[in-house]
Amino acid sequence: MTVYYIFIQVIIKMHDFDELEEKLPGDIFTDTFLKNYLYGTEDSRYSLVKRWLKQGKIIRLKKGLYVLGEKNRKKGLNLFQAAQMLYGPSYISLESALSYHGWIPEAVRTVTSAVAKRGREIRTPVGVFSYTPVKFSNFFAGVARVENEGGVFLMASPWRALADYIYAYRKTWKGLKPVVEDLRIDPENFKNTDFKELEELYNSAQNSRVKVFIEKSKKELIA
């Protein structure tokens, strides 16, 4: 029995997984947290992580990012928070945001985000995450920070999600009617529109199709 083996066993004993769970701020965590919590060398930490991965106690989403295994989760996995930590700067938008706000009736399986850099799709053991590049002078116009029991994430407003949708899918919507028809959005949702937000989105948009949609929609809402 080598000294190294004995050392690893001591480290494992010092770090009961239940104790780790108690110290976790949530179900998603990074290598930085493990480095701050786990004693010993990088090799010893790697051995513990490898052991927990094999046991299914934790799941690797990408290098340096983990989530507790399904049986060990405290509050249920927040996929929106996971999306933020997987790739960014980004925020939840498009279909996921419209569904979150109750503007579209369909459930969305892929978590959709807008991103400030190159788009990509990331497949993980807990779900599929899609990132679509958008161009706005103020990237976070119409985006709010949401904090709940499940975690913290950035969420597009319904209007920002629509603007991103038009940009991403090259829609030529000139007003609200095609939106209602194509996405089956209830017109009642437009009644509480914040016109200051529409102005901010219009000024930040760097795409003519988005600008036309906002301008035409605003006129319809005022009429």
Residue 164's CATH number:
3.30.460
Same domain, 165 and 127: yes
Q: Note down pLDDT in tens along the chain; length 223 residues.
A: 454 444 444 444 445 677 777 777 778 888 888 887 776 677 777 788 888 899 888 999 999 899 988 887 877 789 999 999 999 999 999 999 999 999 998 778 999 999 999 999 999 999 999 999 999 999 999 999 999 777 899 999 999 999 999 999 999 999 999 999 999 999 999 998 999 999 999 999 999 999 999 999 999 998 7
Look at residue 34 in the predicted model and tell me its pLDDT. Answer: 80
Number of domains observed in the structure of the chain: 2
Same domain, 85 and 135: yes
Look at residue 39 in the predicted model and tell me its pLDDT. Answer: 67
Look at residue 22 in the predicted model and tell me its pLDDT. Answer: 72
- Note down the domain range covering 125: 79-222
Look at residue 5 in the predicted model and tell me its pLDDT. Answer: 43
Same domain, 84 and 184: yes
Same domain, 95 and 180: yes
- Length of the chain equals 223
pTM of this structure: 0.86
